[in-house]
Amino acid sequence: MKKMEVLFKLNGRDVRAEVPSDTLLVDLLRDTLGLKGTKTGCREGECGACTVLLDGNPVNSCILPAFKVAGRSVITIEGLTKEDGRLDPIQEAFIHEGAVQCGFCTPGMIMNAKALLDKDPHPDEAKIREAISGVQCRCTGYRKIVQAVKTAGEATRSAR
Ligand code: FES
Ligand code: FES
């Protein structure tokens, strides 16, 4: 398989990787770059566990060829934590509201919430449910996740 060089921004830093041309972004992140926070479930674009932000928009990294992120900005769940170890308000809210059980869906939920709150810090419940609709959670029943995103929105607004 032909190898391709991919230069892109990952969590704010320039990254260069050489990968076979059929490598998927999730495998570049997890296997080549060691960022295991992004999960894989269906690997078919259905469950949302692999969600990352591409230029600020949520994408399923299990169906995105890695070479397509060349010259673009990718944010993973690891990129939300501050350099001094402080968590993002969305991560704090998920903990505070008890919105995590097995945790498998949590990175995907948080990345979708991040994309939403960056664009709209005042989302109503319908918008929150729509934003997370591409991520499947088998544990929580979604109610606490929705509450966590509401709480994170309030925290984001009061920090501005
Ligand atoms: S692992 Fe990517 S959508 Fe399920
Ligand atoms: S917390 Fe287990 S899948 Fe959502």
Rounded Cα distance between 65 and 63, Å, is 7
8 Å CB contact between 23 and 84: no
Q: Residue 142 and residue 66: Cα distance in Å, rounded?
A: 31
Ligand nearest to the CA of 41: 1
Contact 135, 103 (CB under 8 A): no
Model pLDDT for residues 93-114, shown as the tens digit of each residue: 999 999 999 999 999 999 999 9
Q: What is the pTM of this model?
A: 0.96
* Distance in Å, CA 155 to ligand 1 centroid: 29
Pairwise CA distance, residues 99 & 149, whole Å: 10
Domains of the chain: 3-79 (3.10.20.30), 89-159 (1.10.150.120)
Tell whether ligand 2 has an atom less than 6 A from the beta carbon of residue 47: no
What pLDDT, on the 0 to 100 scale, is given for residue 2?
87
Query: Does the beta carbon of 104 lie inside 6 Å of ligand 2?
Result: yes
Distance CA(52)–CA(115), nearest Å, equals 10
State mean pLDDT over 38-50.
97
pLDDT of residue 31: 97
- Order of strands across the sheet with 73-75? 13-20, 3-10, 73-75, 51-54, 57-60
